[in-house]
Structure 1
Amino acid sequence: MLVLGVGFGLVLGMALAGCQAEEQALAASELDVAPLEHHFVEADCPAERCAEVTVEALHFPDAPALSDDLRHRLLTLGQGFSEEPVQAQASDSWETYAEAFFQQARAEREFAPAHGASQAVLQASVVERHDDLLIIELNSYVYHAGQAHGLPMTAYMVIDERLGQVVTLDEMLLEGQAPAFQAALFRAHEQWLLEQEADSYFVGFWPPVESRNVAPLAAAWAVTYNVYEIAPYAFGQPTLHIPLSELEGIARPRYLSSSQP
């Protein structure tokens, strides 16, 4: 009996230690996120026409590779690319981006009206954090002097904190379920059209398009389109929502909130 008691005690102790280690690992998996800000102003330019670049981003003090990834994605977005980074054209630092932007602004002043100034705003913010998923929204707004309006763009960056890395839409879906996901997205688009009370002309001129700009939120998956993708500029950047119930059997359970009903 004494031997059994010791053995049971050892097993129980190991189990408790394992639970404590698991809790510590889960706690350690949460990334430290900190704000990062820069403000660049063009030098040697006409009064009230100096271009500006404002950065309101984030970085990960303990994960420099993720910080580099976020910076690259945001700089790429600021050059008009929403999804796949274009390595040959993307700047590699905030300073490089600002200098290139100022150089373009100087060239544009020769043809732009004698008022207004070019500006670029690059922002990153945490949209939601649940189930060890960190969903970050990247936004850019770029206006060149003389244009009728600026160009806003949005992209999501989804970090699986258990893995410590960014995950793509393909990695969030079960194998072979990409077509089923797009079908669910198109159903969400139909619902959006009803909410907009869109007429037949609008429906015909602005058909649904596939998207990979997905945020797996706790209540639903959000899919944000950029201007001119599914609607005129005046509609802004429409965000469609796919209910979690429609994603069962399509998305990996890991990326469907554990708190859903």
Structure 2
Amino acid sequence: MRITLILLIASALLAGCEDSNAPAKPTAKSTDSAAAIKNPAANPKGATPQTLVRNVHALEKTDEQCDADGCPKVDLQWLTFENQAELNDAITQHLAAMLIHNEDNPNHDVRIEDLADAFLQDASDMAMASRQGWELTATVKKQGRRGDVITLSMETYEYTGGAHGVPSVQYFHWDLAKQQSVKLNDMLVPGQQAAFWEKAREQHTAWLNKENLDQAFRDSWPFDKTDNVFFTDKGLVLQYNVYHIAPYAMGQPTLTIPYSDLDGILRAPYL
């Protein structure tokens, strides 16, 4: 998203607020066992935990002036939760930042709906774009929960012509008790950052050996840090996106550090 998006962000900063009258598609509410999340921190000890109701939002758009094959399209799906204003704001901020490739500087005033319109406007302004199959997609799902920390997976894909599109996945962590986001550094025992990255390097070397990658590859694609992590039953997983530690053809590599290697490094609640 190019000139249109730059103008959009500038306008949002000047406005200082969102348009509360903007149209939105109906959301699907889910309260079944798969979608309900218990939040014991929201209730006195011994009380029945509050159930968070998940709302699923869907936004599908295309260029109404395009009637050819390969018309640009937008297909976005994300979650919010009832009575969780701070969490919902953080979710939409993070997703919007991913859509404009600016994860380090989320903007409170950019609306996801406006980003969809900006993408389609950019496509309509580009010669031949209406037949190149421009595409912008996003999916936000609940990945899991450990204690008070809920983790969402956020996946986006953008194609604006060329050999291939650009996929991206980010894992977003939120502490339901503290009502704030959780970063990798928050999960580590103070003073154990160096030990953590040493364990990560060991897993990176193991991955290189498993893939039988030669020295030329290792020199071209060295180890790098990432704070994009998520939990599994086997350990803490470091998620890398395309072009980070490997070429596009190798996809989005992951490195798993077993929990047994993180004793004394990862804070106890996450172990």
**Pair in the same fold by TM > 0.5:** yes
The change in CA–CA distance for 1:91 and 1:51 in structure 2 (over 3 A counts) is farther
Segments of 5+ residues of structure 1 without an aligned counterpart are 1-19, 257-261
Q: Please report the TM-score for the alignment, with normalisation by the length of structure 1.
A: 0.80
Equivalent residue letter for 2:139: Q
- Provide the alpha-carbon RMSD of the alignment: 2.1
User: Where does residue 63 of structure 1 map in the other structure?
Assistant: 84
8 Å CA contact 1:158–1:166 kept in 2: the answer is yes
Segments of 5+ residues of structure 2 without an aligned counterpart are 1-42
Q: By how many angstroms is 1:218 displaced?
A: 4.0
User: Where does residue 161 of structure 1 map in the other structure?
Assistant: 176
User: Where does residue 56 of structure 2 map in the other structure?
Assistant: 35
1:107 to 125, 131, 145: 125
1:24 to 18, 24, 47: 47
**1:129 & 1:205 partners in 2: Cα distance?**
36
Equivalent residue letter for 2:89: D
User: Where does residue 92 of structure 1 map in the other structure?
Assistant: 110
8 Å CA contact 2:224–2:245 kept in 1: the answer is yes
The change in CA–CA distance for 1:163 and 1:219 in structure 2 (over 3 A counts) is farther
Q: How does 1:115-130 map to 2 (within 5 A)?
A: 115-130=131-146
Structure with the bigger percentage of helix: 1
**1:249 & 1:78 partners in 2: Cα distance?**
37
Q: By how many angstroms is 1:46 displaced?
A: 4.4
The change in CA–CA distance for 1:33 and 1:54 in structure 2 (over 3 A counts) is same
Q: By how many angstroms is 1:162 displaced?
A: 2.9
Equivalent residue letter for 1:143: Y
Q: How does 1:71-220 map to 2 (within 5 A)?
A: 71-81=92-102, 83-87=103-107, 92-108=110-126, 110=127, 115-144=131-160, 146-220=161-235
Shifted more, 166-175 versus 205-214: the winner is 166-175
8 Å CA contact 1:121–1:141 kept in 2: the answer is yes
8 Å CA contact 1:80–1:153 kept in 2: the answer is no
Q: By how many angstroms is 1:205 displaced?
A: 1.1
Identity %: 31
Question: Per-residue CA shift, 1:12-63, capped at 9, x if unaligned?
Answer: xxxxxxxx942426x23x6433322111112212422431111111111120
**2:134 & 2:128 partners in 1: Cα distance?**
13
8 Å CA contact 1:42–1:52 kept in 2: the answer is yes
The change in CA–CA distance for 1:255 and 1:32 in structure 2 (over 3 A counts) is farther
- For residue 56 of structure 2, give the secondary structure of its aligned residue in structure 1: strand
Question: Per-residue CA shift, 1:200-233, capped at 9, x if unaligned?
Answer: 2111111100111111334311111010000010
8 Å CA contact 1:43–1:50 kept in 2: the answer is no
Q: Which structure is larger by alpha-carbon Rg, 1 or 2?
A: 1
The change in CA–CA distance for 1:78 and 1:49 in structure 2 (over 3 A counts) is same
**1:23 & 1:32 partners in 2: Cα distance?**
21
User: Where does residue 241 of structure 2 map in the other structure?
Assistant: 226
Question: Per-residue CA shift, 1:228-249, capped at 9, x if unaligned?
Answer: 0000101111111111111111
